[in-house]
Each structure stands twice: as structure tokens, then as C-alpha cells.
Amino acid sequence: MESPLLGETSDSSYQRPEHFYRRADAITYGSNFQKAAALVDLAEDGVGLPEQILDHSSFGTAAKYYFVFIKFDFIWTLNYFALILLNFLEKPLWCANCADDCCKDRGYFYLGQLPYLNTLETLIYEVVCLAILVADLLVYGLYLSPVAFSVLPVRIAPYIRVVFLILSISWVAFVMFEDTEQGNTVFTSYAITLYQMFVLFTTSNNPDVWIPAYKASRWYALFFVLYVLLGVYFVTNLILAVVYDSFKNQLVKQVAEADNMRKRTLMKAFSLIDKFINLDEFADLCHAIALRFQKEDVASCFEYFPTVYHAPFSKKLKTFVRSPVFGYIISFILVVNLVAVIIETTVCISFIEISILKEHCLTFLLLPTLN
């Protein structure tokens, strides 16, 4: 009797055990049947392999390096956290511009108690993080990305319209308020006017920036209100619509590319065993595998401690958490917390009002004595 297909020995120079428990090992070191089985499993999971890997002349070697790259995903993730952590370890730039060492008084500036890196340490930290980030982006973009950079949508016309709008309205504001209190105190030059109007576009300095003009004449408020309404409710929504439209088109391309990747993966699997099965039989086999086999849920990390995970108390706790009663309890706690916050806020406001009333009464009673 012939041995099972998936039990064949590897045809690569590197000898591995006959049975593989990981798809990466089967694709890298397994026989053609083992590689085909692993590729079909990947395709049915919607994972697939990049086209550059599938079409490589040395498929096994290319797949090996690809899976090595995948294993280093935790390094790329840690690099992002390292870049975020740098914000807390890097000395603020404004500290270097102070005559005295302002950063010594951390309690006054709310700088925390984390130690700061010196200039050399910060430079080394940034260079290492940026090198890892650039390496990750280059490898993924040049060899592994399912969508080439050349086909990414680039639509700069809406953003040019926004820039032109801000430039033109800033010029109008600079000319309009040139000889007024607004121009003498806020819009002192076109560059400053452009900056202030750009910030006003985000409503960060609204209405502080046009208070001098409003004091001079309330009709000036009409200019700024119309500008804010136009920017917030029209131009900003225009940018959002462009971004959403580009995202939607890109999502359609990614879904189509994922389907094409699945087909390419299955065709690569078929090319490995086409001497033993025809295309129709292979398609029926893949269809049967997709229908008959379902993926098991990923085991919980708590299952590594079976004595605790499978204990009667743990089972009762899982049943209770999954029941609707647990949801009702959480909702009740949230409602009680809301009521407590409202009562506490009301009591604080009442206490402040009573304190102010007492001060007024005391002042009123002591006023004749002081006179």
C-alpha cells in the first residue's frame, strides 16, 4: 500500500521530518503535495502569498525568506511603540531656547518624571527607529505590497482649491483691515494674516482673532462668520468626500486583488501536482475542502493553564459573563455612575453658590462697620 501523499519526504536539500505542523514549514521544506496542501489551506483562509513569491523561480527559497519577514512583524510593531515612546524621552525643543534650564522645574511645566535622553542618545534612538521603519516600508512596498504604488490614486486638485481659497481670502482680509485696529494688532502682514486665517479655518482661534474688528463694527463679523461656515461646512466636507471616495475605490481594488491572489495561490498549488490531477478535479477538491472543513477557533491563552481554565468556577464565570444578566449589571452600574456624577456636580455647584452668597452677605454686614 502506498504511503499518504502528505507523508512523503521533502524533495528539498534540507531534510525535515515527514509531517509538518506549520504551513510555512510545509511550503518551504515540504514535497510538492505538501506545498500544494499548504497553499490551498492559505487560499481558503484568504491569506495567499504575494505574486512575486509565487512566480519566483526558486519558490521554496523565496517563500522561506517571506516567512522570515513575517516572523519579524513584532519588531515592526515594537518600532512604532518606540517612536511613540520617544515623545516622552526626548527633551522638548523649547527647553533649548530658554536662557535658563526650564525643564528642571518639571512640576510647573507638567513634564513628568521620566529621564530625558541627551542629544547623542536621542540621535541614535531616532536613527535606529527610522532605519527599521524605512526597511519595513521598502521591503513591503517593493516586494510584498498587493497594490503597487504607481496605481494609488493621487488627487491634488481639491487640496489646491483649499489652498487657493485660503490664499485669496487671506489677501482680502489683509487689504480690508489694513488701516483698522484689526490690521494694526492682528493682521500686521500678509504672512501673519495667512497664518491666522488658516488657523481660523480649523476654528482653533475663533472668535479671538476677529474680536478687534468686531469691536470696531459688528458688520465685520459677517465676513469671518461666512468664512468659517464656508470652510467648516463646505470645504472640509469636500476634502472628506474626496478622501472617502479614494478610500472606497482603493477598497474595491484591494478586494479584487485579494480574490486574484486566492486564484493565483490555487493555480500555483495546481501547478505543483498537475501531473496527478486535472484542473476540474482540483477545483472540485478545493470546493469540497471549503465546504466540509471549518476552521477551529484560536485557543485562548488561558488554556495553557488547564487546571484553572477548566475548573468549575471558571466555567460558571464564563457562563455568567456570556449571559444577558452580566450585560444588565454593567448597564445598571453605568447608570448609577451617571447619577453619581450628576449629584456630585450639582452638590459642587451648590456649594460654590452658597460660598459666594456667604461672602456677599458677610461683605454686606461688615460694610457699615468698615465705614
- Other beta carbons within 10 angstroms of residue 28's beta carbon come to 26
**pLDDT 10s digits, 148-176:** 444 445 567 677 878 888 889 889 988 88
Name the amino acid, one letter, at 317. Answer: L
Q: State percent of the chain over pLDDT 70.
A: 72
How sure is the predictor about 16, in pLDDT bands with cuts at 50, 70 and 90?
very low
The 3-state DSSP class for residue 35 equals helix
The residue to which cell 506545498 is assigned? 35
What angle, 0 to 180 degrees and rounded to 10, lies between the N-to-C axes of helices 220-230 and 157-176? Answer: 170
Where in 14-71 does DSSP place strands (E)? none
The residue to which cell 495561490 is assigned? 265
Q: Is the pLDDT of residue 263 over 50?
A: yes
Mean pLDDT for the stretch of residues 100-122: 72
- Other beta carbons within 10 angstroms of residue 29's beta carbon come to 21
d(CA 126, CA 135) in angstroms, rounded, equals: 14
Name the amino acid, one letter, at 354. Answer: I
- Which contacts qualify for 131-139: CB closer than 8 Å, 24 or more apart? 132/75, 132/76, 132/79, 133/76, 133/79, 133/83, 136/76, 136/79, 139/69
pLDDT at 6: 47
CATH fold for domain 157-255: Helix Hairpins (1.10.287)
Higher-pLDDT residue of 54, 340: 340
Mean pLDDT for the stretch of residues 361-367: 58
Higher-pLDDT residue of 95, 174: 174
Domain boundaries, the chain: 73-145, 157-255, 305-371
**pLDDT 10s digits, 301-315:** 777 777 878 888 888
d(CA 332, CA 326) in angstroms, rounded, equals: 10
Percent of the chain as helix, strand, coil, to the nearest 5: 75, 0, 25
Higher-pLDDT residue of 196, 54: 196
Cis-peptide, bond into residue 207, ω within 30° of zero? yes
The residue to which cell 483691515 is assigned? 177
Q: Which of 136-150, 212-226, 269-283, 350-364 has the highest mean pLDDT?
A: 212-226
pLDDT at 137: 78
Structure-block grid coordinates of residue 75: 519588531
Chain centroid offset of residue 267 CA? 34
Closest by CA to 238, choosing from 150, 163, 171, 152, is 163
